[in-house]
Chains A and B, each alone.
Chain A
Amino acid sequence: MSGVMAADMSPVLIVGATSDIGLALAHEYAKRGAALILAARQPDRLQADLLDLQTRYGVSARSVDLDLLDPDSRTRFLDGLTVVPGTVISVAGLLGEQERSQGDAALAEAVMTTNYVAPVLILSAVANRMQEKGAGTIIGVSSVAGDRGRASNYLYGSAKAGFSAFLSGLRARMRAHGIHVLTVKPGFVDTRMTSGMKLPPVLTASPAQVAREIVRAHLGRRSVIYTLGRWRWIMLPIRLLPEPLFMRLKF
């Protein structure tokens, strides 16, 4: 990887940096020499990771406070962001238990805000600044769950569906300005979000694997990727199945 690439992608702003995929992405970009801005709630939790990233890769890395659920925190974060990042990535995600979300409006709202409202507002604000500058890459980590609403996780899925649609529209708008927008749809990933679930190993990626695929798609200027790639072929029939049939599937 040439130094020019690192300069182009730098700094990399990661929203949701304490997540497993977020940290894996921090390593993957730092390995290529990019400077990092890690946004998360209670950024002190990232202290050991910042030292690790600096020591391993000799890059500059800092953390900033961002509580996605708090509109004031989002405003403070955007006001405090004085540089235009070369890359912005939203890895924010909250699965929430579907059954609880159905009856608990506060949890439902937290799921919608974390997966849709907050990432959309933040990426939009950063996109506007990138447009002025005329350069940048915007990466949104959505989910295969956004490809179709399923009984078992449709609240989460609907927020991710909205996020995927947002990214698709943003890509069309930004195309003329030379700004690259990448939609990432992970299938199962072995993270805190899925801990305790029984996941089929052949369909389950590690956070590091997902991070590597994201960076590869970034460099290859891809529009939409599934991780693992085979999820594309799993989701294709699921997307195409007629609703009268689909609604009878219990999964």
Chain B
Amino acid sequence: MMLSGWGNYPRVDCTVTRPRDVAELMGAIGRNPTLIARGAGRSYGDAALNRAATLVTTRLNRIAAFDPASGVVSCEAGTTLDELIEVFLPRGWFPWVTPGTRFVTVGGAIASDVHGKNHHLDGTFGRHLLSIDLALADGSVVRCSDNENPDLFAATQGGMGLTGVILRATFRLRPVETDLVVQHTTRTRDLAQTFSALEDASDATYSVAWIDCLARGANLGRGVVYRGEHAALGDLPPAREGRAYEDAPRRSRTLPLSPPSFALNRYSMGALNAAYYGRAKAGRNLVSYQTFFYPLDALLHWNRIYGRQGFVQHQCVLPLVSCDEALRELLTMIAARGTGSFLAVLKLCGEAARGPLSFPMRGYTLALDFQANAGNFSLLTELDEVVAAHGGRFYLAKDARGGARLLRDGYPRLEEFSRTRDRYDPRRRFRSVQSERLGL
């Protein structure tokens, strides 16, 4: 069937299997010469596509154990963060690390070593991971942790499914007193202010900036900076007294159809951006966890807004030393073209994680969407050059079009990753359209 990532680009005809349990999954691994695991399909590009065999793990969603004293949970890899939140938030636990959507699977979160708005303090998903069970190319299943198969454990975090199929994972959740977030909003006038607001926010648990990437000249880099803390019991409004965890309606709206591609142009985008910038209320607000962490999840299938041809997300991280210059260059190019997305996200990252292909490193990460078309692709290639020239790297979970050279330049520990795969999967049975494109 025709399959794609969240960006709906590229679309590839893949043979898809949906095993019901670990036994069926092991059978599928044995039968197929090459394969890739796929979770909820929320990586953007072609990382979870394999023409010969794409194994969808969403039915492997059983929770095996939970320790209410420590918050350690064990579950199958197809369990989504949404399910974990539904089950454990009412008991006072939240994922330590969550990306901007709760509809990812645990397996996908590990394979992409996802980060969230608290990366500067709490690192990636992998930092809170205690162990995984990994199905290898030779048909065996091994436990990986800091003590058992530590090389595989590290390589699998951010390894894009290329080390094996994650079957189960054990990891820590974070204790929270309520399901609300205390949010502080600051509006900034230019990039310098945005940087300083983000740096000021580095002691906040969560911090992120939204950049109006269509603003030019003196307004270049203006945006809205959000800081957040999990609300304590004392922060509850009077109406919520005694109800720390509301059975909040988790209903979402669906964008049913793709609008025609001409609906998205620099004027409509500019109007959206300006409206968003103007709407952000400065100051302190008490908001639901959905509003704070998952604003886009409220519109299911928002990816359809980019039309049938789909979109790509450009996400890079730039080291601190060069980020000011690099971001000015990038934002100037993007604003000049005027085809950038409604959403451009800027975030200050903390230390790099243990995975050789894990994305974040100390510096600023910028992410924005582009409709998939030839004009944007040529712009993206130019952006890639700027990223490479400043010692940055791109995020494999978002990538649909990068090249092998860009990968080598951005990931100095690529050799280490290849050696681990030589040891456990010398024939490269675990492969994806992305790994083939990148020569991984």
Contact = CB atoms under 8 A, between A and B. Distances in A.
A110 to B, nearest CB: 22
Contacts of B66: 55
A194 to B, nearest CB: 13
A45, A49, A56, A192, most chain B CB atoms within 10 A: A56
A51 B65 contact: yes
A55 B65 contact: yes
A63 to B, nearest CB: 14
Contacts of A20: 20
Contacts of A55: 63-66, 87
A52 B63 contact: yes
A56 B87 contact: yes
B76 interface: yes
B21 interface: yes
Contacts of B61: 52
Contact of B20 (A52, A56, A192): A192
A51 B61 CA distance: 12
Nearest to B23: A45
B62 interface: yes
Nearest to B86: A56
Interface residues of A, number: 9
Contacts of A192: 20
Contacts of A45: 21
Interface string B60-85: 01111110000000001000000000
B interface: dominant SS: mixed
Interface in A155-183: none
B62 A51 contact: yes
B146 to A, nearest CB: 25
Interface string A8-31: 000000000000100000000000
A196 to B, nearest CB: 12
Contact of A49 (B62, B65, B87): B62
A45 B20 CA distance: 11
Contacts of A51: 62-65
A10 to B, nearest CB: 20
B65 A48 contact: no
A52 B84 CA distance: 12
B301 to A, nearest CB: 15
Interface in A33-79: 45, 48-49, 51-52, 55-56
A130 to B, nearest CB: 32
Nearest to A57: B87
A48 B76 contact: yes
Interface string B36-75: 0000000000000000000000000111111000000000
A23 B66 CA distance: 21
A147 to B, nearest CB: 29
A48 B62 contact: yes
B20 A48 contact: no
Contacts of B87: 55-56
Contacts of B63: 51-52, 55-56
Interface of B: 20-22, 61-66, 76, 87
Given A20-B20, A45-B21, A49-B62, 8 more contacts: A48-B21, A48-B22, A48-B76, A52-B62, A55-B64, A55-B65, A56-B63, A56-B87
Interface of A: 20, 45, 48-49, 51-52, 55-56, 192
- When A and B form their complex, which 7 residue pairs have the shortest distance between CB atoms, in order from nearest? A52-B62, A55-B63, A48-B62, A52-B63, A56-B87, A51-B64, A55-B66
